[in-house]
Amino acid sequence: MQASNKRRVVLYSTTALTLSGLVYGGFVYRSKPDVQTLLSCAAPQLRVGMLDHAETFVRQALEEEPDNFEGLTMLAAIYEGRGRKEEALALYHQLLPRSKALGMEPELQVGIARLEMNEGEHAKALQRLDGVKAEEVDTRWKTCVLRAHCLKALGRLDEAESAVQTAESVAGSNWSSARLRTELGLAAPQAQGQAEVATDSSAATQAAAPNGR
């Protein structure tokens, strides 16, 4: 019994000494951060504009996988959000050849078009957007919204209105076009209908009045 207890004491002491040595030497095992988890943490931060937090997660992910496509795409979006447009555009173009095989080309084309539009190159951006063939709902919606902005800037108001209506159709009940219509200076559909009714009523009143008065 005593021999058994001695062996336990020796075993515990050896284990404790080994662990202490590992802690002291900084060699305690730490699992590598999961890249996809890091990017999943970055995505919501990026969506709400918390660029510092998003960039922290993205940079950590890229330390593990420097060529990670999703991480680099997020980094380009962060550059764009910070106003570093040339860096964002260069990175988007760098990723474009790889995007086709990954099915991400539409999203990148939309990103490039957005930068072009913000630089005042509306015709160029519109041409790019007209070539986007997206299946993902969010990308289709972004395409419609950007097309509406470009068309409005080019003075093609009827087409801008059509693009807004398409955006409404794509997004369904999850989105209201009221803010976009305000930004573009387009009347709400209800207001348009009321204006038409008012015009018709005025015309009818004038027709019924003597001498059109």
| Percentage of the residues of the chain whose pLDDT score is greater than 90 | 69
The verdict on 91 and 109 lying in the same domain is: no
Q: Yes or no: say if 124 and 108 are a contact pair by the CB < 8 Å rule.
A: no
Cα R_g (the chain), whole angstroms = 29
pLDDT number for residue 16 = 39
The rounded mean pLDDT for the chain is 81
pLDDT digits (tens, 9 = 90+) for 131-150: 999 999 999 999 999 999 99
The verdict on 49 and 88 lying in the same domain is: yes
**Sorting pLDDT into bands at 50, 70 and 90, what band is 25?**
very low
The verdict on 63 and 89 lying in the same domain is: yes
Q: Is pLDDT of 53 > 90?
A: yes
Q: Is pLDDT of 56 > 80?
A: yes
Q: Who contacts 142 (Cβ-Cβ below 8 Å, separation ≥6)? A: 110, 114
Rounded-to-integer distance, Cα 143 and Cα 149, Å: 10
pLDDT number for residue 38 = 94
N-terminal to C-terminal alpha carbon distance within the chain: 120
Q: Is pLDDT of 206 > 80?
A: no
Q: Domain containing 57: what range?
A: 34-98
Mean per-residue pLDDT for 20-38?
58
User: Is residue 64 situated within a structural domain?
Assistant: yes
Domain boundary among 98, 120, 147: 98
Domain count, the chain: 2
Which residue matches tokens 């076009």?
177
User: Is residue 153 situated within a structural domain?
Assistant: yes
Rounded-to-integer distance, Cα 163 and Cα 149, Å: 9
Which residue matches tokens 């404790």?
16
Q: Is pLDDT of 123 > 70?
A: yes
Q: Yes or no: say if 149 and 129 are a contact pair by the CB < 8 Å rule.
A: no
